[in-house]
């Protein structure tokens, strides 16, 4: 058998096996290198100090040109709005819709008031509503002391409310601040009934009737509920709050919480308390259910309340002969008697002398 002859592949000087293809690859490489050469040079220039200054100058010029054309500026501002609107539309179609608002801790505030303050619409995108803005709007409600808002992607907004707790009723008067004459302090005044005011307004149809109704409305506006922080609650005084003590005097609302905390130690005194007057922003005069006025000291209030509690527990104030009790002097009790009480004591002392 004849041995097969070995054939050698002829190559060019460049060493490429297929001459035509090799030239093509080399040409593409040279073209790419030529195209990227100015780009590389531009990158080197921009990374230098002179390049950075040039780039910053271009940005300033572009900003000036944009600001000089209102139409261009409006177009740029509308781009953001359109993107936001498109995002809300897409999330709404994807199922991220507001389906419910759940409120916790609500007692005096109605759900209608909460929804009106939140300004939400069911079915809209859940991302449309700003939680911080809703928080601020809810804090402006009359009964809301504090609030926390949480948004869930399942289509719910959770609202946790802490409402104000009334502790007293504040009566604004036109009396001179710091008056020491307790007869000028209206302890016996009571907040007017809204139903009675409305009935009176319907009954009075003439000019005098309108004047009386205006007077009644003005009187109603001078009464405000007071919370634990001394803040006034601009709300109608409901019947359930008419048993609260009535405050009067400058800064009485701000200082009521501290004195009422001391009354908790003496529940029998607190149960009979109807009114309180802050005298010269230093001390308190209180009024009891039996119309007895008690003058408390500026210091050692708890000790004075302890003495008053003992007197009430033994029925010493139920006779009707006592007008006021002065406890301002430590260790002493000064009684102010009515005319009947004075005559009774004169009779007793006269009988003892004889």
In this prediction, what percent of the chain has a pLDDT beyond 70? 58
Does the residue 41 lie in any domain?
no
Residue 7: predicted pLDDT: 47
Q: Which of 131, 163, 195 is the last residue of a domain?
A: 163
Of 319, 312, 311, nearest in space to 338 by CA: 319
Q: What is the CATH number of the domain that holds 347?
A: 3.40.50.11690
Residues 140 and 190 in one domain: no
Residues 237 and 301 in one domain: yes
Residues 202 and 256 in one domain: yes
Residues 158 and 266 in one domain: no
What is the per-residue pLDDT across 81-123, written as a single tens digit (0 to 9) for each?
A: 777 787 888 888 888 899 999 999 999 999 999 999 999 999 9
Rounded to 5 degrees, φ, ψ at 39 are -65, -45
Contacts of 191 (CB under 8 A, 6+ apart): 169, 171, 220, 223, 237, 242, 246
| Residue range of the domain that includes 202 | 166-353
Confidence band (pLDDT; 50, 70, 90) for 12?
Answer: very low
Residues 226 and 286 in one domain: yes
Does the residue 158 lie in any domain?
yes
Residues 144 and 217 in one domain: no
CA dist 211 → 137, 222, 223, 276, 336 (Å): 37, 17, 19, 30, 40
What is the per-residue pLDDT across 45-78, written as a single tens digit (0 to 9) for each?
A: 666 666 656 655 665 565 555 545 544 445 555 6
Range name among 67-76, 274-283, 321-330 with the lowest pLDDT average:
67-76
What is the per-residue pLDDT across 198-250, written as a single tens digit (0 to 9) for each?
A: 444 454 444 454 545 554 555 456 889 999 999 999 888 878 888 899 999 99
- Long-range contacts of the stretch 292-296 (C-beta < 8 A, 24+): 292/317, 292/322, 292/323, 292/324, 292/325, 293/182, 293/187, 293/323, 293/324, 293/325, 293/336, 294/324, 294/325, 294/327, 295/182, 295/324, 295/325, 295/326, 295/327, 295/328, 296/327, 296/328
> How far apart are the C-alpha atoms of 29 and 36, rounded to whole Å?
11
Does the residue 342 lie in any domain?
yes
Q: What is the CATH number of the domain that holds 118?
A: 3.10.20.310
Does the residue 321 lie in any domain?
yes
Does the residue 39 lie in any domain?
no
pTM higher than 0.85: no
> How far apart are the C-alpha atoms of 5 and 324, rounded to whole Å?
141
What is the per-residue pLDDT across 137-173, written as a single tens digit (0 to 9) for each?
A: 999 999 999 999 999 888 999 999 999 999 999 998 7
Q: Which of 163, 194, 220 is the last residue of a domain?
A: 163
3-state secondary structure 235-282: CCCCHHHCCCCEEECCCHHHHHHHHHHHHCCCHHHHHHEEEEEEECCC
Residues 251 and 105 in one domain: no
Does the residue 8 lie in any domain?
no
Does the residue 193 lie in any domain?
yes
In this prediction, what percent of the chain has a pLDDT beyond 90? 38
Does the residue 337 lie in any domain?
yes
Residues 174 and 298 in one domain: yes
Number of domains comprising the chain: 2
Q: Which of 143, 163, 183 is the last residue of a domain?
A: 163
Residues 285 and 194 in one domain: yes
What is the per-residue pLDDT across 168-191, written as a single tens digit (0 to 9) for each?
A: 999 987 544 444 333 344 444 555
What is the per-residue pLDDT across 297-319, written as a single tens digit (0 to 9) for each?
A: 999 999 999 999 998 888 767 66
Residue 42: predicted pLDDT: 66
Residues 110 and 245 in one domain: no
Residues 145 and 272 in one domain: no
Residues 135 and 174 in one domain: no
């Amino acid at each position: 058998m004849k041995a097969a002859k070995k054939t050698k592949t002829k190559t060019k000087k460049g060493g490429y096996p297929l001459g035509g293809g090799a030239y093509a690859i080399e040409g593409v490489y040279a073209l790419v290198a030529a195209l990227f050469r100015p780009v590389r040079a531009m990158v080197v220039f921009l990374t230098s100090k002179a390049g950075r200054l040039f780039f910053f100058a271009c940005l300033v010029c572009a900003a000036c040109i944009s600001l000089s054309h209102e139409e261009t500026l409006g177009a740029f501002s509308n781009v953001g709005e359109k993107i936001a609107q498109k995002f809300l539309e897409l999330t709404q179609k994807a199922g991220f819709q507001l389906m419910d608002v759940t409120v916790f801790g609500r007692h005096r505030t109605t759900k209608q008031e909460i929804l009106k303050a939140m300004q939400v619409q069911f079915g809209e995108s859940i991302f449309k509503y700003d939680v911080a803005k809703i928080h601020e709007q809810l804090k402006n409600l009359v009964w809301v002391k504090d609030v926390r808002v949480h948004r869930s992607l399942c289509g719910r907004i959770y609202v946790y409310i802490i409402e104000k707790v009334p502790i007293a009723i504040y009566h604004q008067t036109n009396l001179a601040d710091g008056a020491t004459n307790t007869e000028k302090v209206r302890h016996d005044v009571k907040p007017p009934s809204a139903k009675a005011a409305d009935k009176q307004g319907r009954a009075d149809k003439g000019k005098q009737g309108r004047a009386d109704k205006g007077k009644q409305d003005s009187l109603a506006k001078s009464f405000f509920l007071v919370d634990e922080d001394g803040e006034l609650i601009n709300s109608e005084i409901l019947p359930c709050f008419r048993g609260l003590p009535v405050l009067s005097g400058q800064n009485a609302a701000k200082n009521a919480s501290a004195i009422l905390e001391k009354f908790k130690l003496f529940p029998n005194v607190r149960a009979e308390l109807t009114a309180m007057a802050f005298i010269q922003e230093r001390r308190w005069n209180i009024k009891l259910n039996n119309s007895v006025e008690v003058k408390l000291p500026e210091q050692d209030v708890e000790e004075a309340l302890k003495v008053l509690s003992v007197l009430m527990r033994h029925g010493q104030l139920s006779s009707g002969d006592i007008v006021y009790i002065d406890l301002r002097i430590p260790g002493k009790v000064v009684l102010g008697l009515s005319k009947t009480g004075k005559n009774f004591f004169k009779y007793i002392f006269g009988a003892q002398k004889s």
